Amino acid sequence: MLNFYDFEVFKEDWLVVIINPLEHNEKVIVNSREELEEYYESHKNQIWVGYNSREYDSYILKGILCDFNPKAINDFIIKYGNRGYMFSSLLRQIKLNDYDVMSGVRVGLKTLEGFMGNDMRETNVPFDIDRKLTKEEILDTIKYCRHDVEQAMEVFMNRKGDFDTQMNLIKVFNLPLSYISKTQAQLIGSILGASRRNYDDEFDIRIPNTLRLNKYKEVLDWYLEPQNRRYKDDKGKKVQLDIMVADCPHTFAWGGVHGALNKYNGEGVYIMADVASLYPSLMIVYNYFSRSIRDPQKYIDIYKTNLEMKKTKHKDRPVYKLICNTTYGCMKDKSNPLYDPQMANNICIAGQLLLLDLIEKLEPHIEKLIQSNTDGVLIKLKNMNDFELIDDIVYEWETRTGLQMEFDLYRKVFQKDVNNYVILPYEKDKKVKKKGAYTKDLSDLDYDLPVVNDALVNYMVNNVLIEDTVYSCNDYRKFQKIVKVSNKYICGFHNGERLKDKTFRVFASKRKSDDIIGKVKLKNHVEVVEKFANTPLHCFIDNADVKNKKPPRYLDKDWYIDLAIERLRQYGIDY
């Protein structure tokens, strides 16, 4: 069973709202350690779910049960920036199967409430109030807290796949339920039997003996040069090599290769060639396993199981795929038992160099290299008759390196840069390939300026005018822009007033009386207002529920059209 919970803590008061959907039960506890302990004792073997609970609410709960002052713990975490577990070793004695919905999300709950179109207004009761709360303030805070619990539940349902994967990791590998409190990366370290070790050989890289570079041997020499074996130079600038490869600007560094023709769009015969499971394959073929793993065969077995499950579409396949694809990232995480930066660098550099090896062999036989990234290349053929020749070149490379390529054919490319593109398939019934914030399919948890994304994709894929998409849209929420005042600023500012909320849902306004949405900061002891990026010069705020609402007459749709056209030009399209 799941217990969704959220704490609110003040100087003289605290409260918690707990909702158990399976029991159809809500529990509100105000300033009563005894009530909290009673509920905890009857539910401690269940799973507790919160938003940012791993960093905050779980420690407030444990602290109250240990008879600590929750305000002291609150300030220890919020005011002084400490980790909750550092407050007292006694907190570790309280068993809590806590699942944090925020895991892997980089924004606060209010921002997600905004994306979902829900009421995102803050409480009217200030958290720094220097006295006991009145009865009315308690009731208002309960209402606010309940709303946040309900919102966390909605976020949970939108991300339920992550929870199911976490639970399946625990079930498939027979781990204790208490591991639900760990991150997926921590779980994978445990599953692979890794033990945390310290290393001092981060840049002792081992080049694959299958590498064959001639024209671009300069890149290999750059990695072998001792003075380049660092992430930043003495001035704090990133250490990298900028070089032209196949008439395409490339950057080689210690985190991956990026090369692309910026603002490129064209038609013809294109091949997107991606290495299948590049990093897992490099680990296995070249023995680049984390040295913190006791038995690398366990990873190999998981990798093989993943391939078999892919063929049969086994229900547990996401668990095995996650382990295969996440292990590399864990190797650069100092807090993870899989930490091994030398092997992580070996994987990354080998991948870059072997991909460069392939580009070098392809270059004389293609019309143009459009882009190369971590695990693949996009090339333009001179004509379709060259396909078999390209296939033969790739086959030689596969045989020599032990890696496998996957091909997809495309007919049209719109490319802003290596991380932002729309590519139309050669066969029109196949899926359009999209990457980047401007054109991706938006979910309920990143629903920011969706009408602009729709307009760009409709134009590129279906030749629909930008104006037609925007003017025909009457979904109010599709025009929203969510902004938040960070801790570097004092408050928000709009139409001559300081704002008490921190997060805002903003819309373009036709009303000239509506000003910018700004954030206030101190500069040379003077308060100045700084405009939020990508917001209109004239805007209005609506932080209430906007689902199923029609746009008001003063919504300025022309601003969204102009923004879409400006973004279209970043792809090299003259609209």
- In this structure, the answer to whether residues 422 and 492 fall within a common structural domain is no
Distance separating alpha carbons of residues 236 and 256, to the nearest angstrom: 19
The answer to whether residues 335 and 230 belong to one domain is yes
Could you tell me if 315 and 225 lie in one domain? yes
What are the contacts of 556-562 at 24+ separation with CB within 8 A? 556/508, 556/509, 556/510, 557/470, 557/471, 557/473, 557/479, 557/508, 558/508, 559/508, 560/449, 560/451, 560/452, 560/455, 560/470, 560/479, 560/508, 561/455, 561/466, 561/467, 561/470, 561/471
Residue 361 lies in a domain: yes
> 114, 137, 159 — which closes off a domain?
159
Are 518 and 412 in a shared domain?
A: no
pLDDT at 241: 96
Please indicate, yes or no, whether residues 110 and 152 belong to a single structural domain of this protein. Answer: yes
Mean pLDDT for each 10-residue chunk of the chain (575 residues)? 96 97 94 97 96 97 97 95 95 96 92 96 90 95 96 96 93 94 92 92 95 97 94 92 96 92 95 95 97 95 94 91 94 94 97 97 96 94 94 97 95 95 91 95 96 98 97 97 94 94 97 95 90 95 95 97 97 92
My answer on whether 429 and 491 are in the same domain is: no
Residue 387 is predicted with a pLDDT of 94
Residue 211 domain flag: no
> Which strands, in side-by-side order, build the sheet including 376-380?
241-245, 248-252, 257-260, 368-373, 376-380, 264-275, 405-417, 420-425, 433-435
Same domain, 465 and 336: no
CA atoms within 13 A of residue 288's CA, in its CB half-sphere: 27
Instruction: State the Cα–Cα distance between residues 556 and 494, nearest whole angstrom.
Output: 17
- Are 457 and 420 within one domain? no
Same domain, 13 and 84: yes
Domain end among 403, 435, 467: 435
Same domain, 16 and 108: yes
Rounded to whole angstroms, the Cα distance separating 238 from 42 reads: 54
**Is residue 52 domain-resident?**
yes
329 domain-assigned: yes
476 plus 396 within the same structural domain: no
pLDDT of residue 524: 86
Residue-level pLDDT at 523: 87
CA distances from 167 to 43, 103, 162, 436 (A): 18, 14, 9, 30
How many domains does the structure of the chain reveal?
A: 3
Query: The CATH number of the domain where 18 resides is what?
Result: 3.30.420
Residue 429 belongs to a domain: yes
Residues 356 and 458 in one domain: no
> 479 is in which domain, residue-wise?
450-569
Q: What are phi and psi of 418, to 5 degrees?
A: -65, -25
Count Cβ atoms within 10 A of the Cβ of residue 299 and give its class: 0-12 exposed, 13-18 middle, 19 or more buried.
buried
* 167 located within any domain: no
Q: Is 120 left (phi over 0), alpha (psi -120 to 50) or beta?
A: alpha
Point out the domain boundary residue: 435, 458, 476: 435
Distance of CA 169 to the CA centre of its chain: 21
Q: Note the pTM of the prediction, 2 decimals.
A: 0.92
Cα–Cα distance between 94 and 90 in angstroms, integer? Answer: 8
168: in domain: no
Give the pLDDT confidence score for residue 374 in this predicted structure: 87
Residue 380 counted as domain residue: yes
